[in-house]
Amino acid sequence: MCACCRLLSGKEVACDLLLEVKEAVSKLSGRPPCVVFLRVGNADASVAYVNQKKKRAAEVGIRSLLKVFDSETTTEQMLIDEVKRLNEDASVDGILVQAPLPDSMDFIKVINTIAPEKDVDGFCSINMGRLIQSEPAISPCTPAGIIELLKYYNVETAGKHVVIVNRSLIVGKPLSALLLRHGVLGDATVTVCHSRTKDLRSITQQADILILACGRPCCFDRFYVKKGAVVVDVGISRVPAQNERGYVLHGDANFEDLKGYVAAITPVPGGVGPMTVAMLMKNTLKAYHLCHH
Ligand code: NAP
């Protein structure tokens, strides 16, 4: 890594955040916060993500439960009924439905059933609406984690042109809302790109801060990026490799090409991923407080 290019390590920031959550949890009187993960099916990536979340929860003293549903026999209504039951369960503070759901189920319909104060992913329409209105809300973990990462490394957003290559509910839409807020870590000029954007390169080249999240491994090299920009690589793709796991993880950025060219860049793995999980723990603690008041 060249001395003039900073590595934005999400691992380091997440470690600090998790310590904060652990300390706050240890000071709570009564039972610890409790989050329930609902997973439909056994897709490798979903299993790995939920396991990682459970592991982090245990490390910070948060209780977590996993309910696995058969993807062949479970209906959307059965999942909704379970969410409604958990909404009423006073021993549960947080509910997370692991995406993706089978094609037979409507993810939006299911998550909109989660009580807003227990919606630790922050995806339900009430939390999203509050986010747009700049009202207090549980913010989606990945965008909130990116903001925390920028804050930790003193990356200013005010007046900067931030280009986000993603318009999903999980990344691009909530992140653009956060960056557009008035005040510290907002006040950015935001451009959101997607698969129908014309001449993507001419737009990404204008970014002071470039957020990549389209799931195209190693695609973005210096031809897409302004010299001295800050690159936040959200993308995670499993690329087949001859190792024990059979794959390696890659981001959307061509890290090797960019590392001596940009001012700062997040690695994959070890960048946005750990921030997402740490923010989930923070959101669970927030949900606990909301449920107790
Ligand atoms: P998604 O819903 O499939 O969104 C992908 C976005 O990229 C869409 O907006 C899509 O445009 C856009 N896109 C795809 N191909 C493009 C192209 N050639 N040019 C411009 N835009 C293009 O996926 P997601 O759930 O948001 O996740 C995106 C990536 O981030 C994945 O690699 C995922 O694994 C990763 N991710 C990482 C974390 C983390 O914690 N690090 C968290 C969430 C997601 P359209 O809308 O037009 O289809």
| Integer Cα distance of 107 and 98 in angstroms | 9
- List all residues whose CB is within 6 A of at least one atom of ligand 1: 142, 165-168, 170-172, 193-197, 200, 213-216, 234-237, 272-273, 276
Convert the pLDDT of each residue in 69-97 to its tens digit: 999 999 999 999 999 999 999 999 999 99
pLDDT in tens, 118-137: 999 999 999 999 999 999 99
Instruction: Please tell me the pTM assigned to this model.
Output: 0.97
The residue extents of the domains of the chain are: 31-115, 140-273
Sequential DSSP letters for 87-101: HH-TT--EEEEPSPP
**How far apart, in whole angstroms, are the C-alpha atoms of residue 24 and residue 9?**
24
For 173-197, the pLDDT digits (tens) are 999 999 999 998 999 999 999 999 9
Instruction: Using the atom order of ligand 1, give the atom closest to the CA of residue 165.
Output: 21
Pocket test for ligand 1, best of 195, 237, 239 (most atoms within 8 A of CB): 195
Domains 31-115 and 140-273 in one fold: yes
pLDDT tens-place string over residues 148-175: 999 999 999 999 999 999 999 999 999 9
Percent of the chain whose predicted confidence (pLDDT) is above 90: 97
Query: How many percent of the chain have pLDDT more than 70?
Result: 99
Residue with the smallest CA separation from ligand 1 atom 40 is 273
**Residue among 234, 239, 250, 265 whose CB has most ligand 1 atoms within 8 A, to mutate:** 234
- Within 10 Å of residue 217's Cβ, how many Cβ atoms? 18
Q: Provide mean pLDDT across the span 253-271.
A: 97
* C-alpha 235 – ligand 1 centre gap (Å): 7
CB-CB contact of 8 with 274 (8 Å)? no
Residues whose CB falls within 8 Å of the CB of residue 199, separated by 6 or more in sequence, listed in order: none
Catalytic residues: 53, 98, 121
pLDDT at 199: 98
Specify the CATH number of the domain 31-115. 3.40.50.10860
Query: CA-CA distance, 65 to 195, in Å (whole number)?
Result: 37
Beta-bridge partners for 205: none
What are the tens digits of pLDDT across the range 44-67?
999 999 999 999 999 999 999 999
Q: Which fold has domain 140-273?
A: Rossmann fold (3.40.50)
For the record, the structure tokens of 278 come out as 């740490």
On average, the pLDDT of the chain sits at 97
CA 32 to ligand 1 center in whole angstroms: 34
